[in-house]
C-alpha cells in the first residue's frame, strides 16, 4: 500500500483558506497513492474557539474530505472539531473512495493548553481495515501514552495526526520510532509547519517509520510538502514471524 503524509502550513482559524490550500497540495496525488494523512485540526490550526470552528459530523469539512477522496481515489484522514449531542470532540475522520467512513475521538486532551476544558475525552480505540491493513489512529498528545497506543495484535499501521510544537520536536521524533518498535508495526506521523495564532511554532518533522524503528521517509523541517512511500504487509508478517515479541506481551485492561 502506498501511503502519503501531508505536512502543510495552516492559516489560523480560516477553514476556507486551509481547505483550498490542502486541495492544491492533494491534487498531484490523484491516482498515485492509496492513503493520505493530514495533521490534527487541519482546517483551523490548534484553536479552542469551538463556537466558531466546531461543525456537525456531516458538515463542510466532511463533505470536502469525501469529495477529495472520491476524486483522488485514495483514503483521506485527519482531525477537526466536531460537535455531537451537545458535546465537542477533537475527531479524527477517515473517508475512503468507496465512501466508507471511520472516526476516532482524541483520548488525551492536552491539559497543558486547556484543551480538556473544551474538548470531551474519547473513550474508545479504533481499529479498522483499509486495503488489507489494520489501522489504528491517534491524535497528537496521545503519542505520549503507550498503554493507550498498545497494539493488541490487531494493528499493522498506527497513524498520528498532530500539531506538535517545534520546541518539543525531539520528543515527537523519538516517540514515533518508539511506538513502531514496541508495537512491531508501521507508524506514520503528520505534523504541521508554520506559526499559529497563539505564537507557537511548528517544524513538521512528519515521517513514516517501519517496525524496526527505521525511518522510511521524512519531510524536511519547516517545509510544506508531501512524503510518500510503500509499506508491505508481507514484509511486516515476515518480521513478526522472525521476531514474535507480541507473543510475550502482558495482558491489561484500560478503564474509562
Q: Which residues have a catalytic role annotated?
A: 40, 106, 140
Task: Round to whole Å and give the CA distance between 76 and 66.
Answer: 8
Distances (CA, A) of 246 to 128, 250, 252: 20, 9, 14
Q: Phi, psi at residue 156, to the nearest 5°?
A: -110, -30
Distances (CA, A) of 126 to 9, 24, 29, 46, 150: 28, 30, 26, 22, 12
Task: Round to whole Å and give the CA distance between 7 and 3.
Answer: 13
* 33 CB-near residues (< 8 Å, 6+ apart): 2, 3, 4, 72, 74, 228
Would strands 157-162 and 133-139 be described as parallel, antiparallel, or unpaired?
A: parallel
Q: Decide: residue 215, CB within 10 A, 0-12 exposed, 13-18 middle, 19+ buried.
A: middle
Which of 189, 190, 199 lies closest to 7 in space, CA to CA?
190
Amino acid at each position: 500500500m502506498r501511503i502519503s503524509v501531508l505536512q502543510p502550513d495552516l492559516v489560523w482559524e480560516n477553514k476556507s483558506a486551509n481547505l483550498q490550500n490542502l486541495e492544491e497540495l492533494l491534487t498531484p496525488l490523484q491516482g498515485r497513492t492509496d492513503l493520505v494523512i493530514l495533521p490534527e485540526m487541519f482546517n483551523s490550526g490548534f484553536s479552542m474557539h469551538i463556537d466558531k470552528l466546531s461543525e456537525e459530523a456531516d458538515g463542510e469539512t466532511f463533505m470536502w474530505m469525501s469529495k477529495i477522496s472520491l476524486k483522488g481515489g485514495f483514503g483521506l484522514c485527519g482531525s477537526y472539531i466536531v460537535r455531537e449531542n451537545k458535546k465537542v470532540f477533537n475527531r479524527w475522520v477517515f473517508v475512503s473512495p468507496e465512501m466508507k467512513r471511520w472516526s476516532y475521538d482524541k483520548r488525551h486532551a492536552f491539559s497543558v493548553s486547556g484543551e480538556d476544558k473544551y474538548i470531551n475525552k474519547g473513550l474508545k480505540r479504533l481499529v479498522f481495515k483499509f486495503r488489507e491493513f489494520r489501522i489504528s489512529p491517534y491524535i497528537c498528545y496521545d503519542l505520549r501514552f503507550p498503554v493507550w497506543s498498545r497494539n493488541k495484535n490487531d494493528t499493522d499501521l498506527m497513524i498520528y495526526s498532530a500539531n506538535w510544537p517545534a520546541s518539543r520536536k525531539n520528543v515527537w521524533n523519538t516517540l514515533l520510532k518508539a511506538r513502531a518498535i514496541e508495537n512491531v508495526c508501521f507508524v506514520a506521523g503528520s505534523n504541521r509547519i508554520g506559526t499559529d495564532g497563539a505564537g507557537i511554532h511548528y517544524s513538521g518533522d512528519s515521517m513514516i517509520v517501519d517496525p524496526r524503528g527505521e525511518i522510511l521517509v521524512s519531510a524536511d523541517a519547516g517545509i510544506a510538502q508531501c512524503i510518500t512511500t510503500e509499506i508491505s504487509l508481507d514484509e511486516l508478517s515476515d518480521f513478526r514471524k522472525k521476531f514474535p515479541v507480541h507473543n510475550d506481551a502482558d495482558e491489561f485492561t484500560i478503564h474509562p
